[in-house]
Amino acid sequence: MASECGEPDSQPPRSPAGAAGDRGRVLIYSHDTFGLGHLRRSRAIANALVAERPGLSAVIVSGSPVIGSFDFGPGVDYVRVPGVTKLPDGDYRSLNLNLSIEDATHLREAVILQVAETFRPEVLIVDKEPTGFRGEVIPTLELLHARGCRIVLGVRDVMDEPRLLVPEWERKGAVDILDRFYDEVWVYGLPDIYRPLDALGLGPRLREATVYTGYIRRELPAEPTFNRYPAMTASPFILVTTGGGGDGDDLIDWVVSAYESDPGIELPALVVFGPFTDRSRRQGFLERIRRHPKLDAVSFDTKLELLMDQATAVVGMGGYNTFCEILSFDKRSLVVPRTKPRLEQFIRAAEASRLGLVRMLAEEDRGRDPMAMAAELRALPHRPKPSEVVVPGLLDGLDVIRARFAVALRGDGRRRTLPQAAE
């Protein structure tokens, strides 16, 4: 357990063993109670930072049960805290441990704090939640702020509709924590597409400290995948992906039903199951897919970028990472966003469709009619590519993040003391 942090400039010196080649340390807290979005975004940022700065060390703190399946660049490592999972009623439970959610959160909080105290980062990047899961990152914020660490909140382009986001942040005291401890806010998107924090009434300092980076460009993995892809990938095909897969059953069912209903769909489709796809549902889908000559499937692929690059077109739900990949690999796409429990995907898809970057199919409008999906799949290979729309700064995310990180590492404009309470 960590001891009390002492005075703001009391950060212990680097150990001699760590001095050689040490060109800075960044700690990334990845808010991931479910799915892959937070982890994959944090990994992309960490890999980009260390690639530009040899000698930089990046540690990702994550609760993702599949973090060990991914490759990380030299200089990047991770610490996995005990996982938690969201229940259908919106509550949470410990993923593997036989602990109450309160005890699991206390354990996570202690691990995060110990990592921060021992690693001693110059920069902390917190993903999405200013307070962390159930406030677990607040003790770490207090420690690192007192030590003069530069603290950044990174948020995706769309959080949720304002009527839900505002009361959620009020309940967590998130705006107060943001104002007390954070030096900058990085929005991984563009203001012309969406302004995720406008409804929160942030003060002048935080508004001035908010930087829209653009979307995070994805590159092909340096190493090949060990997965064996179906023969169909040697010819034009449609890639169907639901990201982590925990809430993608309806989309897979809709696509498979379309092929079952319309044998005239031109291109075959490859379905990629996510690691959180329910096993029984996956088995049912596989039985249907095996019976259809134009369908095939593979299990979870940590190097999905390779398939994305090969595909003629993409069908997805419109999560942040899938959207970044569609833009990065310039793919014609059909986005079928979920609308529960958040409207995040719907808002992103609607705005991207307005700009002509993607084609959106809303389940509520078509009622999951197989022939409606079939019509979209027929037209998809002939739709415009994202590159046919000019949006300045669209994929500048990593360039802007690297530039802002250089400023943060120098400590320019750093607030070194906690705000003083009124007498």
- Each residue's pLDDT tens digit, 340-365: 778 899 999 999 999 999 999 987 76
pLDDT in tens, 88-141: 666 888 888 999 999 999 999 999 999 999 999 999 999 999 999 999 999 999
| DSSP assignment string, 188-225 | ES-TTT--TTGGG---HHHHHTEEE---------SS--
- Name residue 280's amino acid: S
Q: What is the set of domains in the chain, with CATH numbers?
A: 24-217+396-410 (3.40.50.2000), 231-388 (3.40.50.2000)
Average pLDDT taken over every residue of the chain = 88
Please provide residue 116's backbone torsions phi and psi, each rounded to the nearest 5 degrees.
Answer: -65, -45
Give residue 219's identity as a one-letter amino acid code.
E
Q: Is the pLDDT of residue 6 over 50?
A: no
For residue 37, what pLDDT is reported? 73
Which range in 11-25, 266-280, 408-422 is most confidently predicted, on average pLDDT? 266-280
**99's tokens:** 């602990």
pTM score, whole prediction? 0.88
pLDDT tens sequence across 352-408? 999 999 999 987 767 789 999 999 999 999 999 999 999 999 999 999 999 999 999
Q: What is the pLDDT of residues 146-170, one digit of tens each?
A: 999 999 999 999 998 888 899 999 9
**CA dist list (Å): 175 to 104, 128, 136, 170, 213:** 25, 12, 16, 7, 21
Q: Got the DSSP string for 61-89?
A: EE--TTGGGS---TTEEEEEPPPEEE-TT
- Note if the bond before 341 is cis, omega within 30 degrees: yes
SS3 label, residue 124: strand
Query: Could you read off the pLDDT of 195-245 as tens digits, one per residue?
Result: 999 999 999 999 999 999 999 999 988 776 667 788 888 999 999 998 775
Instruction: Decide if 373 contacts 258 (C-beta within 8 A).
Output: yes
Distance between start and end Cα atoms, the chain: 33
